[in-house]
Amino acid sequence: MKILFIVLDGLGDRPCNSLKNKTPLDAAKKPCMDFLARNGMIGSMTIISKNIAPESDQGMLSLLGYDIFKTYTGRGPLEAYGNSIKIKKGQVIIRCNFATLCNSKIHHNRINDIESMPSRDEVKKIECIKIPHMKFKKTIGYRGVLIISKNLSPRVSNSHPGYKVVKNFVTTALPVRNRLLMQKNVIPFEKKAGATAEMINNFIEKAGSLLKNKTILTRGAGNKLPVLRNMKSWTILADMPVEIAIGKLSKMKVVKKPKNLKALSDIVKKEIKNNNVYVQIKTIDALSHRNKPVEKMKAIEDIDKNFISNIKDIKNTAIVITADHSTPCNLMSHSSDPVPFLIYGLKKGTAKTFSERKARETGLKIHATSLLKMLWQNTKYFK
């Protein structure tokens, strides 16, 4: 039996006034997901802990069964690797965002992402900043990476006010959307990281002097890639570089993901003949960050109609539908809320529809790290 693992990025939500106190998933007309729920099993799943709102890469690693406090090595190295930037031993790599300023404060709202997109001239100016052993590289959209080619410690804080380091390299997203915020000074977590923090702060200051109404936010410093187990029997189709990086490091077959959902389902049906398949769909997370619950509901309906409908009848396959984290529209940010999960192809449960509320009502509660183990090891669950 094969596994089709579908991750709807940011699926979990909270009741919304504009949806008559329902979540987008609960309010959506999704006959195919509901069919899978009626004929499968659903429950609630904690991604990391009740106190940590995961980043997407941390969420994915947890879904793949890793203890991220032991495995995760920072967002920076994954961001670089996923964008085909070669990583050398001794480098410290930091994820960067271009951000909009309003009266010297950061307007932290995804609506302003387009305003934060740098021009070619701005990128050129930042790439030409001269600091010994340091180089900036633009990646996609408003993102980039900062590379320090000097054997320094990566144990520093984030200047990005929306993400806080909580333990080792693991961060939590903070509910700070739609607010004006001050950029944070980078501080070292250990004495030997003092030079690292000083270099990053120097770069941020120089970048700020070159950009008009923008700044550079930094987070996720790391100096190595995570060591992941071999998953060469899997194919991955994902939207974002960090998920692609995790797929590559796991020896998965990386296939370019089309934007068209029907085309995506065709590729899935082709790949599932020989491999397990991991699919990440980003669309609904972006709508959550913009506080668009009605549009999020419609996006879920679109996924159900044009993707799930085409894959639900695949034979000899366990179908998993879940999320890497919750992104409640009213927060406009990731949260630590449990995510709903659905497994079709195992023993039938009692649910009639797929939603956060119905998932809680089943009483089935698991941690993300146990999901694949349930599929691989606990054969008693299979029909």
pLDDT (tens digit, 9 = 90+) per residue, 122-156? 999 999 999 999 999 999 999 999 999 999 999 99
Where are any strands of DSSP class E within 190-323? Answer: 214-222, 234-237, 253-254, 276-281, 317-322
Per-residue pLDDT tens digits for 261-290: 999 999 999 999 999 999 999 999 999 999
Give how far the C-alpha of residue 73 lies from the chain's centroid of Cα atoms, to the nearest Å. Answer: 15
Span 37-83, pLDDT tens digits: 999 999 999 999 999 999 999 999 999 999 999 999 999 999 999 99
Local confidence band at 381 (pLDDT 50, 70, 90 cut-offs): very low
What global pTM score does this model have? 0.94
User: Taking Cα atoms as reference points, which of 279, 117, 78 lies closest to residue 213?
Assistant: 117
- 379 pLDDT tier (thresholds 50, 70, 90): very low
Distances 349 to 9, 34, 114, 238 between C-alpha atoms, Å: 25, 12, 44, 30
At residue 382, the pLDDT reads: 42
- How does the average pLDDT of the chain come out, rounded? 93
- 212 three-state secondary structure: coil
Residue 319's pLDDT is what?
96
Domains of the chain as residue ranges with CATH: 2-72+227-381 (3.40.720.10), 75-222 (no CATH)
Read off the pLDDT of residues 165-216 as tens digits, 9 standing for 90 and up: 999 999 999 987 666 777 889 999 999 999 999 999 999 999 999 998 899 9
- Classify 110 as helix, strand or coil: helix
